[in-house]
Amino acid sequence: MRSPIFLLIIGCLFIVNTSFIVPSAGNKYSVMIIKSRHELRLYDSVSGSWLATYPAVFGNNDLGDKMMQGDRKTPEGTFHITYKRIHEKWDRFMAIDYPNKESYEKFNRRKEQGLIPIDAKIGGDIGIHGTWPNEDFAIDQVQNWTEGCISTKNKYVQELFDLLPLGTRVEIRQ
């Protein structure tokens, strides 16, 4: 029988060395979002092949990188899925870790360069989600309608929601 101190030490080591978000390196899948092509691509890192390409729309029609809160632009960079939930408006929602360290560095550099107001905020709550009920046509018509998120048809976001674990790598590029 183990002593209580030994079990306490083992328990503490377990907690300290445990990540509560699945590391992206261990995930089978990754996502590539190409804004200029209005595509969300699903990649299988084990087989090294593209599994699917889904149509996607974004914030406003200016497909540039997100500069600040309220600009309705979709951020560019490498992110990870941090949580998932059923959404009352957009069917499913998979949040990404925007803003992350890279996002803050770009944001602060742009402030220093005078590209955005000094009192601007970086924003947040960016994710991959579906559309309003019965409005998948917005995807077919390439209507960029979000506040900076990535939107695809509800049937596609349901597939992705069920398939992608927390920690999945999401790369967003122009």
Q: Tens digits of per-residue pLDDT, 53-89?
A: 999 999 999 999 999 999 999 999 999 999 999 999 9
User: Residues in the chain, how many?
Assistant: 174
pTM for the model stands at: 0.84
Domain boundaries, the chain: 22-173
Rounded Cα distance between 84 and 95, Å, is 6
- Does 22-173 carry CATH code 3.40.50.620? no
Q: How many helices (H) and strands (E) does the chain have?
A: 4, 8
- Give me the pLDDT at residue 7, please: 43
Query: Mean pLDDT across the chain, nearest whole number?
Result: 88
Residue 51: count other Cβ atoms within 10 Å of its Cβ.
12
- Give me the pLDDT at residue 114, please: 96
13's tokens: 């080591």
- Give me the pLDDT at residue 64, please: 95
**Averaged over 103-131, what is the pLDDT?**
97
Residues 6+ apart with CB under 8 A from 167: 21, 22, 23, 24, 26, 27, 80, 81
16 pLDDT band, cuts 50/70/90, is very low
The closest of 44, 60, 39 to 147, measured between CA atoms, is 60
pLDDT above 70 for 107? yes
